[in-house]
């Protein structure tokens, strides 16, 4: 995570991201479930090494693939149940509604003649909310800040390698108690993004 006021003695190393993690996603269309997987990958990569973690209070919460040994849970809301987060902090990812944005009449690229083929384009706007869960309000707030800073500071790389129009953290919400758990607190972070989708229809002979 990038840190503009990094103390060289505090244990954190500053900017750390292997852009190779984007390779499996670069040539795939931006399907909603792939964005969930990408965000989870970015966060599990960040939390897999204690020296990547900016907040000293969170450096013992190292993520591992083994749920029973992991210091933090990072999972899609479709795979999460409240009991998983009663002992360790968690980031639970939820995809929100996607909205289509019209870019031209009938979605067509205007004035492009290509041997009878018709070219189309459309834009999509979407977002994910990342629910940051801790044993108290302060821990949830620290976790939300860690997640928001990671996605904000490496947002330009995410935009570049996935060819997105936009990728931004747009909101850090207020602290709330999770009623389904034993005194667990949650702070939501929302990341918004937009991308284009192009296709061609070729008349049959």
76: CATH: 3.30.70.1700
Please report whether residue 151 resides in a domain.
yes
Residue 144 falls inside a structural domain: yes
Q: Across-strand partners of 133?
A: 90, 186
The C-alpha atoms of residue 91 and residue 70 are separated, in whole angstroms, by: 13
How many distinct structural domains can be found in the chain?
1
Q: Which domain holds residue 25?
A: 19-201
Residue at 11 is within a domain: no
Q: How many whole angstroms separate alpha carbon 133 and alpha carbon 176? A: 9
pTM: 0.81
For 91: left if phi > 0, alpha if psi spans -120 to 50, otherwise beta; the answer is beta
User: Residue 4 falls within a domain, yes or no?
Assistant: no
Considering the domain boundaries, does residue 48 fall inside one? yes
Classified as helix, coil or strand, 40 is: helix
Question: What tokens appear for 89 in the block?
Answer: 């902090």
Residues in the chain, how many? Answer: 205
- Would you call 14 helix, strand, or coil by DSSP? coil
Per-residue pLDDT for the chain (205 aa), expressed as one digit of tens each? 454 443 433 444 454 555 565 565 555 556 777 889 889 999 999 999 999 999 999 999 999 999 888 999 999 998 886 666 677 899 999 999 999 988 777 767 765 556 678 788 888 999 999 999 999 999 999 999 999 999 999 999 889 888 899 999 999 999 999 876 668 899 999 999 999 888 788 877 6
In a domain, 82, yes or no: yes
Phi first, then psi, for residue 59 (nearest 5°) are -70, -15
pLDDT reported for residue 10 = 46
Residues 97 and 134: their CA atoms lie apart, in Å, by 26
Contact assessment for residue 192 and residue 172, using Cβ atoms and an 8 Å cutoff: no
């Amino acid at each position: 995570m990038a840190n503009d006021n990094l103390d060289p003695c505090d244990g954190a190393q500053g900017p750390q991201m292997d852009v190779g993690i984007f390779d499996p996603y670069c040539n795939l269309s931006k399907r909603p479930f792939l964005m969930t997987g990408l965000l989870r990958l970015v966060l599990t990569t960040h939390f897999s090494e204690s020296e990547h973690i900016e907040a000293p209070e969170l450096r013992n919460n190292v993520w591992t693939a083994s749920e029973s040994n992991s210091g933090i849970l990072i999972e899609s809301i479709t795979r999460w149940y409240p009991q998983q987060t009663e002992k360790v902090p968690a980031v639970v990812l939820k995809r929100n509604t996607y909205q289509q944005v019209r870019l031209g009449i009938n979605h067509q690229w205007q004035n492009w003649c290509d041997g009878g083929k018709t070219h189309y384009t459309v834009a999509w706007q979407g977002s994910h909310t990342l629910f940051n869960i801790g044993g108290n309000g302060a821990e949830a707030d620290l976790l939300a800040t860690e997640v928001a800073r990671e996605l904000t500071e490496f947002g330009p790389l995410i935009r570049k390698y996935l060819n997105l129009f936009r990728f931004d953290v747009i909101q850090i919400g207020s602290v709330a108690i999770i009623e389904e758990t034993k005194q667990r607190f949650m702070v939501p972070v929302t990341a918004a993004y937009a991308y284009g989708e192009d296709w061609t229809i070729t008349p049959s002979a």
